[in-house]
Amino acid sequence: TSKVIIGFCPCYKYQNFWYPEHLLPITLDMQTTFKAQPSDIILATMMKSGTTWLKAIIFAVVNRHLYTNTHKNHPLLNSSPHDCFPFIHSIYEENNQNQLDSMPSPRLLAVHVPFSHLPASITESGCKVVYLCRNPKDAFVSLRYYLEKMKPVGYEMNPFEKDFDLFCQGVFPFGPFWDQMLEYWRESIKSPEKVLFLKYEDLKEDPAKNIKKFAEFLGCSFSAEELKRGVVEEIVQLCDFKTMKNVKANQEGEHGVFARFKNSAFFRKGEIGDWKDHFTPDMAERVDKLIEQKLLGSGLMF
Ligand code: A3P
């Protein structure tokens, strides 16, 4: 199909979904060569929905027996959540597939691809999938800022209005937005033991409640003693926006192969409703109507 630029990033459509140019061949490779293990934990997200945050949370929950969360040697206080919990596509981009074999169990691996494009070994093995999405208006605004920050020298950004128009036509990396959300939503209803569906807004509203939910879903519920000791609250604090933003590796470290950019690009405002400062009332109405129409009858709402 033809190329469409979102922000500065060239994207191609493949089986109804939009892929950043450099990630399409990698995704196709992953589909056939990635071998999931039943104990893998897969985090699937819509881009800019809080992936970094949830990586930190799940890492902290799963590894809570190894580290004291308040301890200064905790990996999350010394490295980026993207290093503790890598994207499968980043491992492939760096041609580091051997790393997959040496990761401790449970392996924590992240993707942005829609459910229907996951490697069969993920969908067919017993591994768990946690899915995270976010109000599309906020995710769109977040994406624009992010692309601005990761834009390599020599590239130009589209005007905001042009990207907005494309977004309404379904052009969003690993989108259309509604199609990606609906695939995971339906799967979470069909197989609740396999897919846990979550919204950024719900995580913001009550992180502690959701952390307990993850632990239960992942088969590592908190004991009464841990709850009494305040382990959940410690994880909330450890993964809080301010804590994470101030970690040196998150300020100064780098991410990406196609374009290298500062990890700080993953930490901007971390709030709900920032779209209000960027959308005209007409734009907001257009998205709202579109989303309402696309999600109609599904039970999913924003
Ligand atoms: P904003 O651009 O709206 O601030 P992703 O990790 O999927 O790329 O998403 C990035 C978005 O999540 C950014 O949103 C970022 O600020 C926000 N974010 C990152 N860490 C967070 C945290 N610990 N708590 C809440 N939001 C966080």
Question: pTM score, two decimals?
Answer: 0.98
Cβ within 8 Å of residue 78, ≥6 positions away:
247, 248, 249
pLDDT-above-90 percentage for the chain: 96
Owner of token pair 């009858």: 297
Check if the beta carbon of residue 50 is closer than 8 Å to that of residue 274.
no
Per DSSP, what are the bridge partners of residue 18?
Answer: 13
Residue type, 237: Q
Per DSSP, what are the bridge partners of residue 294?
Answer: none
Q: What secondary structure letter does DSSP report for 205? A: H
The pLDDT tens digits of the residues spanning 137-165 come to: 999 999 999 999 999 999 999 999 999 99
Residue type, 128: K
Is the CB of 261 inside a 6 Å radius of any atom of ligand 1?
no
Q: Residue 45, SS3? A: strand
The pLDDT tens digits of the residues spanning 30-48 come to: 999 999 999 999 999 999 9
Of 163, 172, 168, give the one whose Cα is nearest residue 48.
Answer: 172
Residue 68: predicted pLDDT: 76
- How far is residue 69's CA from residue 67's CA, in Å, rounded to a whole number? 6
Of 96, 93, 89, give the one whose Cα is nearest residue 111.
Answer: 89
CA 290, 181, 211, 138 dihedral sign is negative
Residue 1: predicted pLDDT: 67
Ligand 1 centroid–CA 10 distance in Å is: 23
Q: Which helix (H) or strand (E) holds 262?
A: strand 261-262
Residue type, 296: L
Ligand 1 centroid–CA 67 distance in Å is: 24
Residues annotated catalytic, as ranges: 112
Of ligand 1's listed atoms, the one at least distance from the Cα of 46 is 7
- How far is residue 254's CA from residue 138's CA, in Å, rounded to a whole number? 24
Domains of the chain: 4-295 (3.40.50.300)
Is the CB of 63 inside a 6 Å radius of any atom of ligand 1?
no
Is the CB of 241 inside a 6 Å radius of any atom of ligand 1?
yes
Ligand 1 centroid–CA 54 distance in Å is: 9
Residue 211: predicted pLDDT: 98
Those residues of the chain that have pLDDT short of 50 are none
